Amino acid sequence: MTDAPMSAEESAARIIRALLDYRSIWTTHDLVELSQAPALEVRRVVDDLQSQSLVDRRRGGIIGVPDWSLLLSRWATNYPIPTTSQLSRWKAPGNFPDRLATSPLRYALTGAHAAAFWTRTPADDDTLIYTPEAQTAATAWGLTPTPTGNVVLAEPPIDVVYLRRRSTPTGLRLAAPAQVLADLLSKANGNPTPPSTHLYNWMHNHLYEWRY
């Protein structure tokens, strides 16, 4: 049995996440190796980004990112992962953080609650969690379905959201900072909000902690 071909959406997201997550200059071969996207897709995406002045080509075919924040903002606008995910709302039990921290299931916390780990600012938004099987996760975590629940489980169509997850000292698994900021911007239609602004400032001041 062979793996299914990577979709254009996943290829683009993997390439852009590589350009964002690593503070590097690239060749096409490097991007193919790291993103695992087909070479033709890498060339197509890089050409598109170059036409928008989001990447530049240098001598010897080297690819660079002049401003990571512009690239991330454009990605959040053009590839809004949360809006293409299947979303469901749930009510959480009192011991939900402990259940989440010790869960063996695949997941990544994103949104304002993930951003708060780095920015140390309060989060009063919904708790947004990526997981491949919402019903399985809800059963394991003791969640109750309700339209007014403040826990949102998102089943993303691609696996990029799980790349380079971070773990907190208590064991919570967070989406990578670039993914979290993109999600915050996507949710606000590209407009800055307090959580996204705080996270952007943290990322700007701590490049070597998330982009290397």
pLDDT digits 0-9 by tens, 19-69: 999 999 999 999 999 999 999 999 999 999 999 999 999 988 899 999 999
Q: What pLDDT score does 1 carry?
A: 37
Can you state the angle between helices 68-78 and 177-187, rounded to 10 degrees?
50
Pairing type for strands 151-155 and 127-130 reads parallel
pLDDT, average across residues 113-118: 97
Please count the other Cβ atoms lying within 10 Å of the Cβ belonging to residue 35.
Answer: 25
Please count the other Cβ atoms lying within 10 Å of the Cβ belonging to residue 197.
Answer: 15
Per-residue confidence band for 3, with pLDDT thresholds at 50, 70 and 90? low
pLDDT, average across residues 87-109: 96
8-66: CATH topology? Arc Repressor Mutant, subunit A (1.10.10)
Per-residue confidence band for 2, with pLDDT thresholds at 50, 70 and 90? very low
pLDDT tens digits along 122-141: 998 999 999 999 999 999 99
Q: What pLDDT score does 81 carry?
A: 79
Q: What pLDDT score does 84 carry?
A: 82
Identify the burial level of 200 via C-beta atoms within 10 angstroms of its C-beta, where 0-12 means exposed, 13-18 middle and 19 or more buried. Answer: buried
Using a cut of 0.85, tell me whether the model's pTM lies above it: yes
pLDDT above 90 for 179: yes
Q: Which sequence spans correspond to the domains of the chain?
A: 8-66, 81-210
Q: Residue 184: helix, strand or coil by DSSP?
A: helix
